[in-house]
């Protein structure tokens, strides 16, 4: 135990005194978060849309005007014929088409709710989900403006007119219900990079320094070395997970719906799998550069491309879907998104969590077996 702690302590010091490690631990998460934050903020402005105004009244024109004035939407086209709608969405010219019903003014005048139909393109899930949130907000605001005006006109505080309702139809990807999943996705990517990258270099670094030769001749056992080397990264990774959650709340306004404790517990399982993959690499690699390169290619790319982080699994070819099943990140992503966005608990998630636990166990055992005290 004391040996493991001594190794963990030394590993901790290596990281603290190595600018490169500090970069990966502190700067990389921040850079990634900012990159994604910037990407999303960029998309938030000037969302292109089209209007099919069947009402053609002052109220409907005011509504469209309020959308444009908000700065979040840009009116690209005014639809005259119904046939145009499909083409606009298919071609990606607009993200959504707002259909204003013919009886809008009448319903509002009669203090009945008036539904505005929104046809939303789900092809770009991220933009679609963000757009949806903004449309709802804009409509709510327009309703409030309408109500205020009505009150001013009547001079009473009597009945407030119900305002605009919304009926959203999402095209192409109707299951777009887990909104803003970028933050939990980012946690998965961070854990993958950190864990695999840092552990694989942790042992390879010893080889480069030839300190491994002295360590090998000492009576410390291989599992102690492995455990001691992994321990600091568990701590570092947990700090980065918490950092991601906090940044998610502050920058993206995404708060975890489910249990943070469960989130951390599942992260720990995934972390074990990732750390063990890194340890496995370290047994083969001879230089840090090679370790970094190979780790990037074999963990980061599948995690971002094949796990459903960037592209929906459902839209992948069957072969790739099968491949994605053997990537721990795939299961972790589903679990963490469900906890984060839907507030799902173990009662629902246990099969995926079991798969993750199996991955963690298998990879840890494999790494422990392959990790030898040999040069």
Partner 1 sequence: MIAIPLAVEVDHLVRRFGDFVAVDDVSFTVNQGEVFGFLGPNGSGKSTTIRILCGLLAPSGGHAVVAGLDVWRQAEGIRAQMGYMPQFFSLYGDLTGAENIEFYAAMYSVPPAEIRRRLDFLAERLELGSVLNRLTRTLSTGWRQRLALATAIAHQPPLVFLDEPTSGVDPVTRRLFWDVIADLAHDGATVFVTTHVMDEAEHCTHLAMMHYGKLIAQGPPEQMRRDLVSSLVQVQSERIWDALQALQGAPQIHEVALFGEALHAEVAAEVADPEERVRQVLASAHVPVASVQRVAPTMEDVFVSLARRYERPTTAGRDA
The residues that touch partner 1, with contacts defined as CB under 8 A, are 2-3, 5-7, 9-10, 13-14, 17-18, 209-221, 373-375
CB 260, min distance to partner 1, A? 35
Nearer to partner 1, 124 or 208 (CB): 208
- Helix, strand, coil shares, percent, the chain, to 5: 70, 10, 25
Taking the complex as a whole, the smallest distance from the CB of residue 177 to partner 1 amounts, in Å, to 49
Nearer to partner 1, 314 or 374 (CB): 374
Closest CA to 132 of 170, 94, 174: 170
Q: Strand, coil or helix: what is 77?
A: strand
Residue closer to partner 1 by CB (options 216, 296) is 216
Least spacing, CB of residue 299 vs partner 1, in Å: 26
Tell me if 76 sits within 8 A of 87, measured CB to CB: no
* Separation in Å, CA 24 to CA 109, 201, 226, 243, 316: 60, 12, 20, 14, 31
**What backbone torsions phi and psi does residue 77 show, to the nearest 5 degrees?**
-160, 145
Q: Which is nearer to partner 1, 23 or 38 (CB)?
A: 23
Q: State in angstroms the smallest separation of the CB of 49 from partner 1.
A: 56
Q: Min. distance of Cβ 236 from partner 1 in angstroms?
A: 17
Q: How far is the CB of 6 from partner 1 (least distance, A)?
A: 4
Nearest Cα to 277, choosing from 371, 372, 352, 209? 371
Q: By three-state DSSP, how is residue 115 classified? A: strand
- Comparison of 100 and 231: residue with beta carbon closer to partner 1: 231
Cβ-Cβ contacts under 8 Å for 51 (sequence gap 6 or more): 64, 75, 77, 78, 79, 97, 98, 100
- Unique residue bearing structure tokens 């789900």: 122
Please identify, using beta-carbon distances, which residue of 4 and 60 lies nearer to partner 1.
Answer: 4
């Amino acid at each position: 135990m004391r040996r493991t702690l001594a190794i963990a302590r030394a590993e901790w010091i290596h990281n603290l005194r190595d600018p490169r490690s500090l970069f990966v631990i502190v700067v990389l998460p921040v850079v990634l978060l900012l990159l994604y934050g910037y990407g999303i903020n960029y998309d938030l402005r000037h969302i292109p849309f089209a209007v099919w105004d069947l009402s053609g009244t002052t109220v409907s024109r005011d509504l469209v005007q309020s959308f444009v004035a908000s700065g979040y939407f840009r009116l690209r086209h005014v639809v005259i014929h119904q046939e145009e709608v499909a083409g606009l969405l298919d071609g990606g010219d607009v993200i959504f088409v707002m259909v204003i019903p013919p009886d809008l003014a009448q319903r509002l005048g009669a203090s009945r709710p008036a539904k505005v139909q929104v046809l939303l393109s789900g092809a770009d899930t991220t933009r679609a989900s963000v757009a949806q949130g903004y449309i709802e907000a804009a409509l709510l605001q327009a309703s409030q403006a309408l109500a205020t005006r009505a009150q001013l006109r009547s001079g009473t505080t009597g009945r407030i007119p119900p305002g605009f309702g919304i009926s959203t139809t999402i095209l192409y990807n109707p299951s777009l219900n887990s909104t803003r999943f970028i933050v939990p996705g980012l946690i998965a990517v961070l854990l993958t990079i950190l864990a695999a990258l840092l552990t694989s270099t942790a042992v390879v670094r010893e080889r480069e320094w030839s300190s491994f030769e002295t360590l090998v001749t000492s009576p410390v056992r291989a599992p102690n070395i492995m455990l001691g080397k992994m321990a600091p990264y568990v701590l570092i990774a947990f700090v980065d997970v918490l950092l991601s959650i906090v940044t998610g709340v502050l920058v993206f306004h995404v708060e975890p719906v489910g249990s943070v404790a469960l989130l951390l517990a599942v992260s720990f399982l995934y972390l074990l799998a990732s750390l063990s993959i890194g340890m496995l690499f370290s047994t083969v690699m001879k230089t840090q550069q090679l370790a970094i390169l190979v780790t990037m290619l074999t963990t980061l790319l599948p995690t971002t491309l094949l796990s459903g982080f960037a592209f929906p699994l459902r839209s992948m070819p069957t072969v790739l879907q099968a491949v994605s099943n053997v990537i721990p990140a795939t299961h972790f992503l589903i679990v963490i998104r469900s906890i984060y966005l839907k507030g799902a608990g173990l009662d629902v998630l246990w099969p995926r969590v079991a798969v993750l636990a199996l991955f963690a166990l298998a990879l840890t055992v494999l790494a422990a077996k392959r990790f030898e005290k040999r040069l």
